[in-house]
């Protein structure tokens, strides 16, 4: 499903932050949608005035106004008509500049949403690019507990009864932080970044069998809860006897799991009596952090063993 946002929704959310004011086209702004199917679309969603690859939201700053003023009367009129014919979702005149009479006249006739902003053009483009991309980003909901462990965003997954919530509770007592339980939402902000957050209805809550719903913020304090985090690692819990290979004894039972457009590293941990899963999870995250820094304990061990055996 492709999400969409309208200029009217952006105005409602950010009018005070951006110093936005309607000039004309307020009613039409509710009908003109900004949508994207990927992060590699062309034209851009928001950008400075572009007549070759028109942006969905065209921003006119001081340079653009000076360029329009430098045109002869006929060329200026044709350029303004061209802007309207390209059917942008909205046109925003930035930097607190006055809207030229001919621009306002053409926009009113065409029913084009036209606004002004008190912010500098570069700041307006930067802010809107981020906010629009965030609203249009692809999302997915996964089953599990999403936590911050040693500053790393970790999703704990597994079938019902493997002890995901109990592990999360133990990790909370060890100083780590909860982001979302049961149904964390993941958003692909950029081609290589996925952010996880908690649905509003589940915020601060953790469900544990036998205890019911626990309010983590009230029990452990504000520091035990975090609003969002980038997804870097998945720890999958499974019961012995499930169809999981034991993996390499040196490098562990690891793999990758596709989440949206990314392959996220996954570590599979068997749930067995006598194992301290909290310690195992912490060790898995610490080892993952070392691997990100370029250190591989298994490779170092193999090299050491080969050196002792006299092999090259």
Catalytically active residues are 143, 164, 182, 249
Cα-only R_g, the chain: 26
| Cβ contact 85:111 at 8 Å | no
| Contact partners, residue 104, CB within 8 Å, separation at least 6 | 23, 24, 114
Q: Which residues on neighbouring strands pair with residue 258, listed in sequence order?
A: 263
What is the pairing mode between strands 20-24 and 114-117?
Answer: antiparallel
| Contact partners, residue 31, CB within 8 Å, separation at least 6 | 6
> First-to-last CA distance in the chain?
55
């Amino acid at each position: 499903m492709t999400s969409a946002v309208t200029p009217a929704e952006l105005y409602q959310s950010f009018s005070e932050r951006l110093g936005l004011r309607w000039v004309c086209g307020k009613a039409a702004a509710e009908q003109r949608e900004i949508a994207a199917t990927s992060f590699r679309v062309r034209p851009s969603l928001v950008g400075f005035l572009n007549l070759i690859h028109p942006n969905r939201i065209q921003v006119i700053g001081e340079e653009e106004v000076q360029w329009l003023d430098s045109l002869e009367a006929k060329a200026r009129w044709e350029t303004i008509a061209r802007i309207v014919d390209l059917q942008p979702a909205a046109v925003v005149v930035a930097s607190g500049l006055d809207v030229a009479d001919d621009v306002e006249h053409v926009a009113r006739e065409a029913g084009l949403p036209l606004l002004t902003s008190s912010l500098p053009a570069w700041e307006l483009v930067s802010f809107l690019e981020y906010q629009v991309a965030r609203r249009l980003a692809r999302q997915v909901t996964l089953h599990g507990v999403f936590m911050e462990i040693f500053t790393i965003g970790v999703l704990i997954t597994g079938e019902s009864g493997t002890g995901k919530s109990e592990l999360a509770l133990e990790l909370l007592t060890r100083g780590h932080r909860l982001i979302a339980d049961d149904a964390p939402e993941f958003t692909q902000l950029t081609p290589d970044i996925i952010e996880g957050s908690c649905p509003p209805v589940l915020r601060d809550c953790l469900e544990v069998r036998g205890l019911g719903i626990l309010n983590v913020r009230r029990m452990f304090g504000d520091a035990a809860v975090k609003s969002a985090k980038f997804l870097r690692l998945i720890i999958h819990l499974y019961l012995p006897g499930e169809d999981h290979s034991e993996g390499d004894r040196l490098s562990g039972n690891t793999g990758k799991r596709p989440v949206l457009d990314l392959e996220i590293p996954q570590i599979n941990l068997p749930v067995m009596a006598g194992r301290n899963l909290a310690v195992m999870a912490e060790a898995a995250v610490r080892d993952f952090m070392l691997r990100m820094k370029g250190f591989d304990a298994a490779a170092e061990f193999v090299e050491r063993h080969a050196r002792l055996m006299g092999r090259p």
